[in-house]
Structures are given as structure tokens and as C-alpha cells.
Structure 1
Amino acid sequence: MEFSDAVPETPVVPRDAATVVLLRDGERGLEVFLQRRVAAMAFAAGMTVFPGGGVDRRDADASVRWAGPEPARWAQWFSGTEAVARALVCAAVRETFEESGVLLAGAADGVVADAARYADARPALVSRELSLAAFLEQAGLTLRADLLRPWAHWITPVQEKRRYDTRFFVAVLPEGQNADGATTEAESSAWQRPEEALADAEAGRSRLMPPTWQTLRELAEFTSAAEVFATERAVEAIIPTLVREGDRIRVVIK
């Protein structure tokens, strides 16, 4: 990935995106679900990331069945509009299901315990043949916004040609569900303790973007998924700065 510290006259307008940090309690403590993106990806190729992606225009569909904090509350958390907040939460649920098979939704009897029964819908969601609203309606499911919590807000540096305005969420893996790597966007997927993921990056065994690195550092301070989920955070937008030092470009986070 090549970077430049030169600020363009007209920076690219960042696209709204959602990233979900899936959590679970492993035998040795808190674990997060990470995926290594395939080398052919246009953005973050080869990087180790959390599931997520750009908002689809249909994610703002007000007909989505909804339970939990309303869009107005999410708008307060992320300092935005209700329409964007609704789209972000829907994108978070949709992208998590597309990329990991984890479905943050439920029916009358509670949260989905076996998301594999809806696996056939994943490719249709990925291709945009099916919207999240239509999928939930057909399956008789309700989006569970209460299974998500706001965590961070990162905006790609202005020098980048492909920019995202990304809100980070945390979610605990629902009981009975499994996260998989059945996505064409990732070459591998795994659960890992935050400190071990950081050690891999420091040893050169993986590559992390600043938001992923910072999030892992923060999560390494916690001992359980419940503790992370219960944490209340003030979410402020972070835009890293690219600074040239000789023949190298350094990322500075203020």
C-alpha cells in the first residue's frame, strides 16, 4: 500500500462504513474475530481486519424490523443524523452476517441461535440481489440493535484516494452461533486474543491498519466480553495524519 503526505486540493469525500468487533470469552480470556483480507482487494489488501464494509443505500430502509436503541440514540452516540445512524447499524448487522455468518437478529423466541439455517441468503446479500430489510422480512426476523454498542469513529486520512467514514461497533458472539471465514474477501479467519494479534503484527506475521491496531490495544485491557460490552465510551471522530520522515510516511494519531 502506497501513501503520500501531499494533501489534494479536493479530498475524496469519505463513504460511510461500519466495522464490527466480534467478542467472545475463550479458555485464556477475551478473544476477537479477525480476518486477513485477500491480496486482490482494492482497499486494505492483505491487512488483518474486523468484519465490516461500506453502507449500502438500502441500509437506510425504515421498514427494517428493529429492536433495541432507536436510530435517534445511535445518532447521538455517533454525532450524526438519524438516517445515517439507521444505515450504519443496518450495515453493521448485514456486513457481519455476510463476512462471518454471525447474525445479530432474533425472532419472538429471542436471538437467533443457529444462523447457519440462513446461509443461503449470504451470497444474495453480498451481490445486493437481496436487501437486509427484505431478508429480515422473509425470515421473520428482527434486527437486534441491542446486541451492538458504539466503540469508535475513524475517518481515512485526506491523502487517500479511497476514503471511509467508519463507525466501529462491538458485539458479543450470540450463544449457539459460530463465526466462519466463508467470504471471498478474506483468505483466512480466526479468533485471537488482542495481545496475540498485536504480537503477530509487531513480529511481521500480519499487518494492521491504525484503527485495528488501536482497537486491539484498547481491548487488551479487558478481561471479558461482557466487560467490553458494558463499557460506556465517548465516541469522537479520529482522522490520522500522514507525516513524511525522510523516505518514509508515518501515521500520526492525535
Structure 2
Amino acid sequence: MSSTTNGQWYPPEWPDRIRALANGELTPAEPRRAATVLLLRDAASGGPTVHMLRRRTSMAFAGGAYAYPGGSVDPRDERPVAWAGPSRAQWAVRMGVDPATAQTIVCAAVRETFEESGVLLAGPSAETVVTDTTGEDWEADRAALVAHELSFADFLGRRGLVLRSDLLGAWARWITPEFEPRRYDTWFFVAALPEGQRTLPQGPAASPGPGGTPGASTEADLAVWIRPEEAAAGYDRGELLMMPPTIATLRSLQPYATAADALGAAEAQNLTPVLAQARLVGGEIELSWPGHDEFTKHIAQDDDGAPGDGHSPSDSPSPSGGTPA
């Protein structure tokens, strides 16, 4: 087993599951549709920063890893909502899916961003966006969404809000490897932090308190705004734990001088899904992500030991250079 010193998330049970898949002994789980948003804002000193959450170590999937706000599609995301920006049909063409599926994915992206970061890409009209999502009433609605007590359509409807799909740009699509028991077909979007809005704090200090103090995501214990190149450097040093899609999308943001530049480049991004492949090469199983050679690993077919380059959740500290959310 080759050893690396970066922060690639690589669970110790993967080698056995990869061997089982390569030997035809494992039936892949069906991936669930999901969406995640690379929320951007320009730093005062220039250049874009991205909002990242560190997943709680108690999470069954990618505990301790840094990620973006996001999550699975809710079946209720298909309900009609007031909509602005590219039509559902236009999104369907861009994403290569049918219009109904396009709506559920875009709705999931906007809903999950609000649930996990408190940022809402919606407004009273097709030309406006909410400028403040703080306060007891907003927090109550956010908590109800997280608890699945309130649908996103009902939330927008009773507040008279229009979903601003034009504030999103489709950026990438990754599908969890077939040997992972929890699988997601995830669409990555970029969006700029709306003027006047702010992200929720995370960690013990962010727990709900008297008077309805905004609470943190139930899935994260830390949130930061960090430059993509600084986050990537932390990953390369082995300080920040990330899944391949996270570090790959971070690196893809580095050429852009502003958040607006990144949003402007979204239309040209390749949305071909990236799915890891495992194949037998000589006496080893080669694990690769097409188009992303940095993640390639070689696993001895008869090696029963844990991987030498895996990371436990406790290996992922707070990033240097990041700004607390």
C-alpha cells in the first residue's frame, strides 16, 4: 500500500470493500440525488473565499472532513415554488436531466444552503434577494426545515419568496464510489453570498440560547471562510481532511480572481459525472477517479491490513488562514 501525507478521506474499511467489488462480491447501493453549494465571497484584501464546514466526527459519512453546505434531495423538493432565473427546462438542458429532476436538485441546493449556513438564495421578487435571515422567526423556520416539519415550498410560499435560480451556477457532478455503502449523486453549484446576509456560526458557542440565538448546523462543528488555495494547501500538508470532490472543486476555483469571475465561468464547466473506478492491474487493485490522477491508489489484492494513508476524523484540525464564520 502506498503512503501519502495529504488529507484525502480514505476510510479503513475501503480496501476490503474495493476488493469485494472487484471480485464481484459486492452489490453497489443506489446513489441518492444530492446538491451542495460552494458559497463564495470576496475577501477585503481581494480574491474569493469559500465557506466550508467541518463535519462532526459523529457523522456516519465523512465524519471530520471539510465540506460545503449541502445534502440529499427531499421528495418534497418537487413541489411547485415561485421561480426566477433560468427555467426548469433550461436547467434540465444544462444538467442533462428532465425538468422535474432539475427542479428538485436546484431546490435542494438552495434549501440545504439555508439549513446548514443560514444563507437564503431567494427574495420577495425575481430581482431582489433577502438581506437578513437572522431573528427568532427565521431560526424557527430553519429548524423546522432541518427537522422535516416544514417543506421548502411551504416555507417560501408563506413568506412570499421567489427562488432565485439565477444566483446559482452548476459547477460539477460527482457520484460516490460503488464500494461505499452510503452513495450520493451530487451536483456542485457556485453562488455568491448575498449582500447583507451572513453565515451561521458553528460549534459549542453557536448552540441555541435564550432569545432564539441562531443555532449551528447539526452536522458541523466548525465553519470558516477560507481562500481556495489556502484550503488546498492545508489538504496537501495533511492538515485538512477532505473527500476527493471537495479538494477537486477547491482546486478548480483557484484560477478566478473574484467570486463574480467564478460565477461567470460556471456555464463552461464540465458536468460529466465523476465516478471512481476499481480494476485489477497485475497483483493490485487500482482505484482511480477519471480525470483526477492525484487520487489514484493501488491496493494489494491480498492485503488485509488498514490503509497506510488513511485519516481518522481527529486528524483534521482547524485550518490556518481561515476566517471563522
Asked if TM exceeds 0.5, the reply is yes
Which residue number corresponds to residue 252 of structure 1? 289
Q: CA deviation at 1:250?
A: 4.6
Q: Structure 2 matches for 1:1-254, cutoff 5 A?
A: 1=11, 2-3=13-14, 4-5=17-18, 6-7=20-21, 8-26=25-43, 27-61=45-79, 63-108=80-125, 110-117=128-135, 118-180=138-200, 181=202, 182-231=216-265, 232-233=267-268, 234-242=270-278, 250-254=287-291
Report the 3-state secondary structure (helix = DSSP H, G, I; strand = E; otherwise coil) of the residue aligned with 1:205.
coil
1: CA distance between counterparts of 2:129 and 2:199? 15
**In structure 1, what residue type is equivalent to 2:64?**
G
Report the 3-state secondary structure (helix = DSSP H, G, I; strand = E; otherwise coil) of the residue aligned with 2:261.
helix
User: Does the C-alpha gap of structure 1 residues 252 and 237 become closer, same or farther in structure 2, counting only changes over 3 Å?
Assistant: closer
Report the 3-state secondary structure (helix = DSSP H, G, I; strand = E; otherwise coil) of the residue aligned with 1:207.
coil
User: Percent identity between the aligned chains?
Assistant: 49
1: CA distance between counterparts of 2:249 and 2:174? 11
Report the 3-state secondary structure (helix = DSSP H, G, I; strand = E; otherwise coil) of the residue aligned with 1:176.
coil
Kindly indicate whether the alpha-carbon contact (under 8 Å) linking 2:274 and 2:289 is maintained by their aligned counterparts in 1: no
1: CA distance between counterparts of 2:170 and 2:53? 21
Gaps of 5+ in 1: none
The structure with more radius of gyration: 2
**In structure 2, what residue type is equivalent to 1:141?**
L
1: CA distance between counterparts of 2:77 and 2:278? 32
Aligned length: 253
Kindly indicate whether the alpha-carbon contact (under 8 Å) linking 2:26 and 2:179 is maintained by their aligned counterparts in 1: no
User: Does the C-alpha gap of structure 1 residues 130 and 221 become closer, same or farther in structure 2, counting only changes over 3 Å?
Assistant: same
Gaps of 5+ in 2: 1-10, 203-215, 292-325
TM-score w.r.t. the length of structure 2 is 0.74
1: CA distance between counterparts of 2:227 and 2:150? 34
User: Does the C-alpha gap of structure 1 residues 249 and 42 become closer, same or farther in structure 2, counting only changes over 3 Å?
Assistant: farther
Report the 3-state secondary structure (helix = DSSP H, G, I; strand = E; otherwise coil) of the residue aligned with 2:190.
strand
Report the 3-state secondary structure (helix = DSSP H, G, I; strand = E; otherwise coil) of the residue aligned with 1:111.
coil
2: CA distance between counterparts of 1:190 and 1:169? 18
* CA RMSD of superposed structures (Å): 1.9
Q: CA deviation at 1:28?
A: 3.9
Kindly indicate whether the alpha-carbon contact (under 8 Å) linking 1:78 and 1:153 is maintained by their aligned counterparts in 2: no
Q: CA deviation at 1:9?
A: 4.7
**In structure 2, what residue type is equivalent to 1:124?**
A
Q: CA deviation at 1:23?
A: 0.6
2: CA distance between counterparts of 1:177 and 1:249? 45
Over residues 141-199 of structure 1, what are the superposed CA-to-partner deviations in whole Å (9 max), with x where a residue is unaligned? 11110110110111111111110000111101000111123111001000000010011
TM-score w.r.t. the length of structure 1 is 0.94
Q: CA deviation at 1:115?
A: 1.4
Which residue number corresponds to residue 6 of structure 2? none
Q: CA deviation at 1:253?
A: 3.0
